[in-house]
C-alpha cells in the first residue's frame, strides 16, 4: 500500500532537482501564505522550508471562496534561478515568480495577461525560448522579463478521446523526445495520467499506446484519484513521478478527509515510453507531538490562515509567548490560524484565554463544513457547521482565564455497514487535572470532500470569532489507532 511522501492537504505537486537537492511545491487555494515549498535529499523525506507567496503584495485573496485562490503551480530551475508559475483564479490570473533560493524571498508577481487557462507549465527549448502550456492543452511562448505573450496560444493536444478535463500539463525533454504529461478524467475517482511525445516542444505529439500510464479507477486500491503528476530524474539516474492521490475511508462510496496528498511512484522506460509503477511506501511521519509555544516572532511555515494574515489580526508579540488573534467586524470566520491534518487519527489541544472575546479550537474543511469547541460567556460550546446548518451540540461551564480545549479524530477501523463514516470527531474540554469533559462526538463524513465538494482538505487550528483571544500553546499529536 502506497503512503504519501507529503501527507495531508498537499495537492498538485510539481518537482525539480538541482544537484543533489529536490524541491517541491503544491497548491494552496484560499489559504495564506500560499504555495508551500518542500526540500528533500532522497525524494522520500521532505521538510517544509517556506511558503513562496508570503507577502500581501504577492498574494491577494480578498473575496476568494473556499477552493478558490491558487491552483496548480509549476516549479522549475533555469538559468541559475528558480521559477514558479501559478494561477490565482480569484484575481490576477496567471502569475510568474522567481527566486535565487527556493526558501525565499520570492519576487513580486509578474502578470501574464496573454496566458489563458489554469495549471500553467514552464519549459525552455534548446534556443532558450520559454513556453507556457496550460490546461486544455494549449501553449504560448512568453517573455519571462516582461510577461508578454510572444504570439498566439495554440492547442497542442486534446488528451485521450472521450476523456474529460485534460489538464495539469508538464513538458520534459528526455533523450531525443519531448514528453507531455497530462491529467485527465477529472480529479475524482476517474483521475488518470496520460502522456504523449514529440520531436519538438511544440509537437506534434503522439499519444502513448498504453495510455493512461497511471490510474486507480475501478480498482480496490486504498489510494484513489491518482493523477496530476510531474516527472523528475534522481541523482542515481532513476526516474520518478510525483502525483496526487486520496485515501478514502469508511463505507460506500468512501470519504476522503485529508484532501489530495502527494505520492511518489517509480518510472521505467520501455520502447521510449514511461511505465509507471505503484506508489511507494513512504517512511512514517514522526509520532511525537508537534508543540507550538509561540515564542518566536514568526510562525512556522506550516501555519496557514484563511485569505489573509495581518499583524493586526494575528501576532505573537502582543502577549509574549502567546498567539493573539483579533476578529474583524463582519468576518464570519474570524481570525484563524491552523495547520493541515496529516494523520488519519490525531489529537489537537490548545490552551485558550478568550477574555472578553469568543473563540477556540476548530477543525475546518471550508467555511460551511467545520466542527469547533469555543469559549463564550463562561461556557465551552461545541458547534457543528454543516452546509446551511450551524448547531450547538454540547456545552460545559468553565472558569475564567485559560482553558484547554481538545479535538480528537479517530479513524474508523471496522466497517459495520456501508454507511459507516471514515472517522469520528470528539470535542472536549480538559480540566486542570487532566480529566476530559466530552461535549460531542460527531461523524467525520460531513467534513469530507465527498460531502462538501471542492479541492481542499482539513485544517485544524485556533480562531477568534469575536473580540480578542490568546492562545498560550497548541499541540498536534498523531495517534496510531491500532494501539489506541
Active site residue 423: no
Q: Give Cα separations from 438 to 41, 213, 332, 361 (angstroms).
A: 44, 48, 26, 14
Whole-angstrom Cα distance, residue 407 to residue 363? Answer: 8
Active site residue 12: yes
Whole-angstrom Cα distance, residue 9 to residue 340? Answer: 6
Nearest to 340 by CA among 92, 94, 29, 107: 29
Residue 325 burial by Cβ neighbours in a 10 Å radius (0-12, 13-18, 19+): buried
Q: In what order do the strands lie in the sheet with 138-142?
A: 121-124, 130-134, 138-142, 154-155
What is the DSSP secondary structure assignment for residue 444, as one 8-state letter?
A: G
Catalytic residue among 30, 54, 121, 167: 167
Long-range contacts of 114-118 (CB under 8 A, 24+ apart): 114/140, 114/142, 114/147, 114/148, 114/149, 114/153, 115/140, 115/142, 115/149, 115/153, 116/153, 117/87, 117/153, 118/71, 118/72, 118/87, 118/89, 118/167
What is the DSSP secondary structure assignment for residue 274, as one 8-state letter?
A: E
Catalytic residues: 12, 167
Amino acid at each position: 500500500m502506497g503512503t504519501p511522501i507529503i501527507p495531508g492537504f498537499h495537492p498538485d505537486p510539481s518537482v525539480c532537482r538541482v544537484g543533489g537537492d529536490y524541491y517541491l511545491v503544491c497548491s494552496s487555494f484560499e489559504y495564506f501564505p500560499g504555495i508551500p515549498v518542500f526540500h528533500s535529499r532522497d525524494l522520500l523525506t521532505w521538510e517544509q522550508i517556506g511558503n513562496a507567496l508570503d507577502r500581501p503584495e504577492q498574494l491577494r485573496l480578498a473575496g476568494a471562496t473556499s477552493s478558490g485562490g491558487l491552483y496548480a503551480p509549476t516549479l522549475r530551475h533555469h538559468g541559475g534561478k528558480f521559477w514558479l508559475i501559478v494561477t490565482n483564479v480569484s484575481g490576477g490570473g496567471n502569475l510568474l515568480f522567481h527566486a535565487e533560493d527556493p526558501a525565499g524571498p520570492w519576487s513580486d508577481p509578474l502578470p501574464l495577461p496573454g496566458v489563458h487557462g489554469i495549471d500553467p507549465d514552464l519549459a525552455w527549448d534548446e534556443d532558450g525560448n520559454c513556453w507556457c502550456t496550460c490546461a486544455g492543452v494549449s501553449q504560448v511562448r512568453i517573455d519571462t522579463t516582461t510577461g508578454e505573450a510572444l504570439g498566439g496560444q495554440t492547442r497542442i493536444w486534446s488528451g485521450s478521446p472521450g476523456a474529460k478535463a485534460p489538464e495539469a500539463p508538464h513538458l520534459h525533454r528526455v533523450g531525443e523526445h519531448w514528453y507531455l504529461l497530462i491529467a485527465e478524467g477529472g480529479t475524482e475517482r476517474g483521475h488518470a495520467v496520460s502522456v504523449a511525445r514529440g520531436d519538438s516542444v511544440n509537437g506534434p505529439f503522439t499519444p502513448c499506446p498504453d495510455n493512461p500510464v497511471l490510474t486507480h479507477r475501478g480498482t480496490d486500491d486504498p489510494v484513489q484519484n491518482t493523477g496530476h503528476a510531474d516527472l523528475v530524474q534522481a541523482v542515481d539516474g532513476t526516474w520518478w513521478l510525483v502525483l496526487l492521490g486520496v485515501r478514502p475511508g469508511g463505507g460506500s462510496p468512501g470519504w476522503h478527509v485529508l484532501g489530495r496528498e502527494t505520492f511518489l511512484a517509480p518510472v521505467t522506460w520501455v520502447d521510449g515510453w514511461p511505465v509507471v509503477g505503484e506508489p511507494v511506501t513512504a517512511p512514517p511521519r514522526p509520532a511525537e507531538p508537534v508543540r507550538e509555544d509561540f515564542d518566536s516572532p514568526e510562525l512556522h511555515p506550516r501555519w496557514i490562515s484563511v485569505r489573509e494574515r495581518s499583524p493586526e489580526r494575528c501576532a505573537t508579540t502582543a502577549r509574549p509567548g502567546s498567539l493573539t488573534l483579533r476578529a474583524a467586524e463582519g468576518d464570519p470566520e474570524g481570525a484563524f490560524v491552523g495547520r493541515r491534518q496529516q494523520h488519519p487519527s490525531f489529537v489537537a489541544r490548545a490552551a485558550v484565554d478568550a477574555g472578553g472575546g469568543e473563540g477556540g479550537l476548530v477543525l475546518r474543511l471550508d467555511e460551511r463544513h467545520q466542527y469547533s469547541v469555543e469559549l463564550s460567556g463562561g461556557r465551552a460550546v461545541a458547534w457543528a457547521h454543516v452546509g446551511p446548518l450551524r448547531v450547538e451540540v454540547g456545552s460545559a461551564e468553565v472558569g475564567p482565564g485559560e482553558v484547554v480545549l481538545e479535538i480528537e479524530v479517530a479513524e474508523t477501523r471496522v466497517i459495520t455497514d456501508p454507511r459507516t463514516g471514515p472517522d469520528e470527531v470528539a470535542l472536549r474540554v480538559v480540566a486542570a487535572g487532566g480529566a476530559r469533559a466530552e461535549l460531542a462526538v460527531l461523524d467525520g463524513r460531513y467534513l469530507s470532500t465527498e460531502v462538501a465538494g471542492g479541492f481542499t482538505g482539513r485544517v485544524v487550528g485556533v480562531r477568534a470569532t469575536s473580540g480578542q483571544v490568546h492562545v498560550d500553546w497548541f499541540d498536534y499529536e498523531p495517534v496510531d489507532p491500532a494501539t489506541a
